[in-house]
Amino acid sequence: MSRLDVPYFRPSIGDAEIQEVVAVLQSGWLTSGPLVKQFETAFAKAVGARHAVALNSATAALHLAVEALGLAPEQGVLVPTLTFAATAEVVRYMGAIPILVDCDRDTLNIDYADAARKLKAAREGTLPGLPVMTVVGLVPVHVGGAMVDVAATEGFAAANNLWVVEDAAHAFPAAWRAGATAPWRRCGEGTASVSCFSFSANKTITTG
């Protein structure tokens, strides 16, 4: 079997989607406009967020998030090792330093025991080849739709005075709860300072 026989993705596109695209092309609005606003409003409601802003990619969303939070050159940000390049790349855009954290072998999500070790080492200047750093943020990634433990993330961030930008590219419409009887929290429902979703071709919902 050729690797070409296994598709990277198979988006579900029917006549309704095609007509929507045609309507946009005929409207004269190609990069913004009323449908973008409608999408932002509907998506914010779907994830329980106060606001949503549509951008050209999740990479752009992560970049805008760390810039809005004031990430400065030489500051440190904790990022997991199992992720797409953009999670660490946007930290470098700001001249800051991504601190790579191991992932849990069962969940594949960030390991907060290792995050604590790396944070301590960064603040003491004992990470190989790196100076003493002011660590200001954390970018957890929800791998394959399995959300990071939200309570653990919030506790770790609060204890260490870190902001949280979640890479939620895999996490719509994921939700998390603390136990079998606890209420569900949707990804984006106050689960981070900023939640960054993706609508790339191989994600749960794709857009053009």
Q: d(Cα 106, Cα 137) in Å, to the nearest integer?
A: 24
Catalytic residues: 203
Cis omega (within 30 of 0) on the bond before 140? Answer: no
How far is CA 17 from its chain centroid?
26
Tokens 């960054």 — which residue? 196
* 77 close to 65: Cβ distance less than 8 angstroms: no
